[in-house]
Amino acid sequence: MLKKILIANRGEIALRIMRAAREMGIKTVAVYSTADKDTLPVRYADEAVCIGPAQAQKSYLQIPSIIAAAKNTGAQAIHPGYGFLAENADFARACADNDLIFIGPAADCIDRMGDKASARSTMMTCGVPTVPGSDGVVDTVDEARRFADEVGYPVLIKASAGGGGKGMREVHDPANLESEFMAARAEATAAFGNGDVYLEKLVLRPRHVEIQVLADDFGNRVALCERDCSLQRRHQKLLEEAPSPALDEETRRAMGVAALKAVRAVDYRSAGTIEFLLDHDGSFYFMEMNTRVQVEHPVSECITGVDIIKEQLRIASGEPMSCADRAPFSPYGHAIEFRINAEDPEHDFRPCPGTITRFELPAGPGVRVESYLEPGACISPYYDSLVAKLIVWGIDRDEAIARGKRALHEFKIEGIKTTIPFHLSVLEKKAFCAGKVYTDFIETEMGA
Ligand code: MV4
């Protein structure tokens, strides 16, 4: 087993990883920017190393400084968390080149899934359902037109280097195909330095349902059920839940089988997520694979009892995962995660950095909080605005919703604006309570 790891991240996820390490008797090294000097994860770690100034580009994204901090402290492995360097294949390679274990998949897997057209081709080859469309990159307008005519309009042009909603263009009228195709390529070139695009039929009002997977070096591959992440605003998730109110046991099994096919096809190791679009008729299609642990991993932990971070640490140590003999997993109860962001929902969710003057945590049955905040803490404008995650569990969805309301009311944060009032209003919506969550929910139900 690993003895000492470095956490190349900040905030709640850094603390989450350190807590898992501590339970396993693994020492931790924090790295931090000057802006994070006084934060809880820096004090919580066994050791801490300053790696640069506030701007992420000069600290949390500085590969040489992070590698040097690991070597200097005798860490054997690096956990990247999410964001920053988590899906950077060069970073995974730099770790390997310096005899450090990257706690995640192989660099080649990150590359293969980071290129969305290549990921799609891989899935088409290994029998994972994909949305009808092109096989890989589309190079010319003529080719795009052939595919669009074949699958029928509307279609969606996606950037191969995009993902998470960046660089997508809908085409509803064949007359606009050429201009949208050219625009998509130009946009992708400008944004990613790579103009490759591919084409899919547009699925109308889909749900976003993703499967959490784990794979180790011993051929164990498990699906930890699904998460429903349909509630998003401008491609930012606000609330996630597990299980999905839209899946029956048969579709869950089928989606899990498809996800594990994808995992096997790329010989994946560690924790990962296969994202699917779920259509109204119950059919589902591969969208993207995330080769990291995700913000919303706790909802899967709550309904399966698996500690995903500890499994990642076991797998990276070269040990088998501890939960393989519990598969196939069925959800136990229902969990909802509320992302508490330092944002003002009354003003277009604009970021609200500032100093926390009051911070009172909710507690009681079925309540979990992941946060690095404490009274007096400063929210810096340099990083994403996530300041806490409230995860509630109940024996069924209704109990989870009731606990969510209760815990959101108990949660007192003052000094900054947060998304707590927004979450409370989501829980009041009939459509939400009926499980009718689609990717356009926030626009249509919340007018935001
Ligand atoms: C789609 C789609 C409809 N049809 N693909 C958005 C993020 C990226 N992962 C892919 N996305 C979508 N792909 C086809 N063929 C609709 C979306 C989409 C979406 C997906 C999940 C969650 C929120 C979304 C919001 C808008 C569009």
pLDDT tens track for 280-290? 999 999 999 99
**263 and 288 fall within a common domain:** yes
Residue 164 CB less than 6 A away from ligand 1: yes
- Quote the CA–CA distance of 347 and 338 in Å, as a whole number: 19
**253 and 340 fall within a common domain:** yes
Residue 122 CB less than 6 A away from ligand 1: no
Between the CA of 165 and the centroid of ligand 1 the distance, in Å, is 6
**167 and 262 fall within a common domain:** no
- Token couple for 2: 């690993």
Atom nearest to 230 CA in ligand 1? 22
Confidence band for 164, pLDDT divided at 50, 70 and 90: confident
The reported pLDDT for the residue numbered 157 is 98
Among 296, 398, 395, 386, smallest CA distance to 337 is for: 296
| CATH for 27 | 3.40.50.20
- pLDDT of residue 108 exceeding 80, the answer is yes
- If DSSP codes are grouped into helix, strand and coil, which group holds residue 115? coil
**288 and 402 fall within a common domain:** yes
Residue 67 CB less than 6 A away from ligand 1: no
Query: pLDDT tens digit string along 262-279?
Result: 999 999 999 999 999 999
Tell me, yes or no, if 350 is annotated catalytic: no
Residue 39 counted as domain residue = yes
Among 311, 113, 347, 141, smallest CA distance to 216 is for: 311
Residue nearest (by alpha carbon) to ligand 1 atom 26: 439
Testing ligand 1's pocket by substitution, the residue of 207, 244, 439 carrying the most ligand atoms inside 8 A of its CB is 439
**251 and 165 fall within a common domain:** no
> Could you say which of 10, 120, 292, 403 is catalytic?
292
Confidence band for 167, pLDDT divided at 50, 70 and 90: confident
Between the CA of 206 and the centroid of ligand 1 the distance, in Å, is 8
* Per-chain mean pLDDT for the chain: 97
Residue 46 counted as domain residue = yes
Which range marks the domain in which residue 98 is found?
4-103
CA end-to-end span of the chain: 48
Residue 126 counted as domain residue = no
Residue nearest (by alpha carbon) to ligand 1 atom 6: 165
Whether the predicted model's global pTM rises above the 0.95 cut = yes
Between the CA of 209 and the centroid of ligand 1 the distance, in Å, is 11
**174 and 261 fall within a common domain:** no
CB 18 within 8 A of CB 9: no
Burial class (CB in 10 A: 0-12, 13-18, 19+), 42: buried
Residue 208 CB less than 6 A away from ligand 1: yes
